[in-house]
Each structure stands twice: as C-alpha cells, then as structure tokens.
Copies of this chain bind each other. A is one copy, B any other.
Amino acid sequence: MSLQKTLQKILQMLKERDTNLEEFFQNLHPSDFAEIVEDLDDEQKRELFEILSDEEAALVLQEMEDFDQVDLIRLLNKKRASAILKEMSSDDAADLLGELPESQAKELLTLIEEDAEEIRDLMSYPEDSAGGIMTTEFISFPETMRVEEAIRRLREIAPEAETVYYVYVVDEETRLIGVLSLRDLISAADGTPLAEIMRRNVISVPVEMDQEEVAKVVSKYDLLAVPVVDERQHLLGIITVDDILDVIEEEATEDIYRRVGAVELEGVGLVEAAVPNIIRRRLPWLIITLFGGMLSGSVIGAFEQTLQAVVVLAIFIPVIMDMGGNVAAQSSTVFVRGVATGEIEATERWRYFFKEIKVGMAMGLVCGFTIAVVASFLRYLPFLSGAVSTVNATVLGVIVGTAMFTTVLVGAIIGTLVPLLFSQRGIDPAYASGPLVTTIKDVTGLLIYFSIATALMRFL
C-alpha cells in the first residue's frame, strides 16, 4: 500500500473513529508513520497522537524532521510532551529541546525529572561536535565480568540501549579500556572474563571533535558505533552509524550550499521558510558579486578607446567570461571535493596543482583554436556580418584565440590555487569558488583579452 493510500485510509478511520486504528498503526514502521503525520493538519495530528502510547509516540517523533517535531510538541500539553520526551533517546530529546524557545525547554526539562540531568549535559555541547550528536544510552561492563554474565545482562537491557552491538569495557573510574562486539561475545566461551577477549585498541573520538571528522572515522573503520571520551578517557557516550548517515548528508549539503553562498536554513523546511529569511541568507553573496562585477566592468571601461574603435570586440566578452568561469568552476570543484573525500592528500596538493596547469594548457589550446576558427567565420552569419565584416578575420581570430587560451589556463590555475591557499590557511575551500574566483578570473580574462586586442588593433 502506498503512503498516499495509507494516509487516505487513516483519515477515513479517524473520521469514523474506527477502533481498529490503533492496531493498524502497530504494523506501520515509525518512519512511514512519521511521513504520514507530516502531511496531516494540526487537529488530525493531535487526534492521532492521542491513540499512541508515550513509547510509540517517541519512536514516531524521532523519525520526523526537526521543524515538524517542534510543531508537534507545541500541539501537545506539557505533561504529555514531557512523557514522550522521556521515552526518546537522550540525543534526540536534547536536539528537540534545543530547537524550542528556552523558557519552554526549561519547563519541559523540569517535568522530565530523572533523565533531565543527562539531557541538560548533552545540550551543553556544540551542535556539530561529537558531544552534540552522541547519545548516553550505551552499554558498559567491568573487565572482570564473564561472557555468560555479560550475555545475560545484555538480554535484560537490550530494549533500553541505543545499540547492543558493541559493549564497552571500563575500569573503576569509567575510563574506556576495551571494546567487544556482540559478535565477539557470542563467539566466545561462556566462562571467559571480558578482559581476555576484549580489544584494547579501541577507536574512540574526543567529545569536542567536529561531526565531519567523526563521520570520517566511522566510515574509515567501518564501525556501527564509535565511543566518545573526554580528555581523560572517560566514556561519555556513543554515536551510532545511523546518525553518521545523517551527518554525511548534512555536511554534503553544507558544502554544496557554501559554493554558491546560500546558507542552510535551520529548524525550518525549504518550502515553508519565510521569504525574508531566505533573502537574508543569499543576498550578501550577491552584493559582493555585484561589486566584483563592477570591478570587472571597470577593466572594460579602462579600454574604452579600444572598444570605441572596434566595437566588434564586445561580442567576445561573454564567451571569454563564461569559459573562464566554467574552467575555474571545474577546477575548484574537483579540487575541493578531492580534498574533502581525502582523494587528494595534504602532501599531494602541489603535485595536483602542477598537473592541473598541464590540463589547463591542453584545454586552452583546444578552446583557443576552436574560437579562433569560429571568429574567422563569423562574417558569414547573416545577423553579425554587418558588425564583423569591417575587421580582418584572421587578426580577429588570433586575438580571440590567444585570449581564450590564456583565459582557460588562468581559469584552471585560479580555480585550483585559491582553494589550495584557502585550505592551507585552514579556511574551508568551499568558500573559494564564490565571488573571489569569479572576480579574479573575470578581471584577468578581460585584461588579457583587451590588452592583446589593443596591441594588435592596428592590424585589425
């Protein structure tokens, strides 16, 4: 049954106050349920959530988008809201409370009681750090415990824990000293103490590590979860791989947005966001581009005399600008992504740069030759013949071809060099593909073009 049909059926059942509704939900995955809820109106949402137990409601809520979670919590009375929060994973509860206005979050926290301390701690870490995405529902045992006892304990606590697939071994002061996968545990003989079978080389991350770095660690070592420790190796929490999937997607979006100066909206969907909010995030980049564009334009202004004498030269301004822009975009995109994925290592950056110069030269030769040929034949295009037939076709081809070669080469150099220098100074190279590269390649491209044109003007 498609989600759309399921939604229709639910609406029908709600309307008829069908008593089978509850049973119907038992067979729906919380993720599908969450998707359906997002399409309902407030009254329907409230009705639906009344049928669910606190635990079921928590499962569904966890699967909803941040801004839909906030909307829903606001629909419920405080007692119900806090009861549901209590059933959520500590990391999800902390995230949700972090999205709410402070006074409301505080009030709910006092109602939660027992887990409030833990959630408050989690809320104190920066959102994008290991601490900000970890959960405190992990399993840790002392090293003296034996395998059969560990398995018995696991069977008891399995329903509460976030993941049972890793069991962490800690010393008396809760310092992390070893790890066991559930697989290790079930393959071991019953009487063995954990100390004998645990792996001591535990891969862990410090609580302040950036979430992007955490994702790299989890991905590199193919982990299902990674433990989070403080500077004295105390085990504070774990981050599970399903949260890492979200981090990778989030970071890719951030990188992609950063390239065009669009900042992601937090706590609200793209479709729902208010227009002034969107503009505030995109306009600054445009205003910088505007002044960059004026700078490029003043290059043309400086060659006014040349242009006045041979106005045909203006025809090639767009192709020079577009080509420089496209090559620079290719170069910076491939370089920035290569650095982000680790394909271009820190030590290989300059080697890559010198190769890119060769690529730029070769592509410049092809493009320069092509545009030279095109320029020489422009006079045969009916709507341009008037303008172009007044100049020497061969000389025009030489001017435009040479300028194109240089522009493509410079585009490749700038497109790689600017992000390379950015990344060496610790600035996110994704920023480098914006107005700065655009302006540099436009100014140099036009400068080269008009300089060559001015030099060869008397032959035109």
**A331-390 interface (Cβ within 8 A of B):** 333-334, 337-338, 341, 343-345, 348, 351-352, 355, 358-359, 362-363, 366-367, 370-371, 374, 381, 383-384, 386-388
Residues of B within 8 A of A252 (CB): 248-249, 252, 256
B286 touches A327 (CB 8 A): yes
Give Cα A186–Cα B366 distance, bound, in whole angstroms. Answer: 66
Binding site for B on A (CB under 8 A): 27, 29, 31, 151, 154-155, 158-159, 164-165, 182-183, 186-187, 201, 203, 215, 218-224, 241-242, 244-246, 248-249, 252-253, 255-257, 259-262, 269-271, 275-276, 278-279, 282-283, 285-287, 289-294, 296-302, 304, 307-308, 311-312, 314-323, 325-327, 329-330, 333-334, 337-338, 341, 343-345, 348, 351-352, 355, 358-359, 362-363, 366-367, 370-371, 374, 381, 383-384, 386-388, 408, 435, 438, 442, 446
The residue among A260, A327, A370, A387 with the most chain B CB atoms within 10 A of its own CB is: A260
Give Cα A337–Cα B352 distance, bound, in whole angstroms. Answer: 29
The residue among A246, A320, A383, A438 with the most chain B CB atoms within 10 A of its own CB is: A438
Closest chain B residue to A65, Cβ basis:
B343
The residue among A287, A315, A408 with the most chain B CB atoms within 10 A of its own CB is: A315
Give Cα A312–Cα B300 distance, bound, in whole angstroms. Answer: 9
Residues of B within 8 A of A337 (CB): 253, 256-257
Given known A-B contacts A29-B203, A165-B224, A245-B241, A344 and B297 have beta carbons under 8 A apart:
no
Oligomer: number of copies = 2
Residues of B within 8 A of A367 (CB): 286-287, 290
The residue among A27, A244, A245, A275 with the most chain B CB atoms within 10 A of its own CB is: A245
A257 touches B319 (CB 8 A): no
Give Cα A380–Cα B155 distance, bound, in whole angstroms. Answer: 80
Q: A253-B337, A285-B326, A298-B381 are in contact. List 11 more A-B contacts (CB 8 A).
A: A165-B224, A249-B252, A259-B333, A271-B352, A275-B362, A278-B359, A290-B371, A294-B319, A297-B314, A301-B383, A318-B446
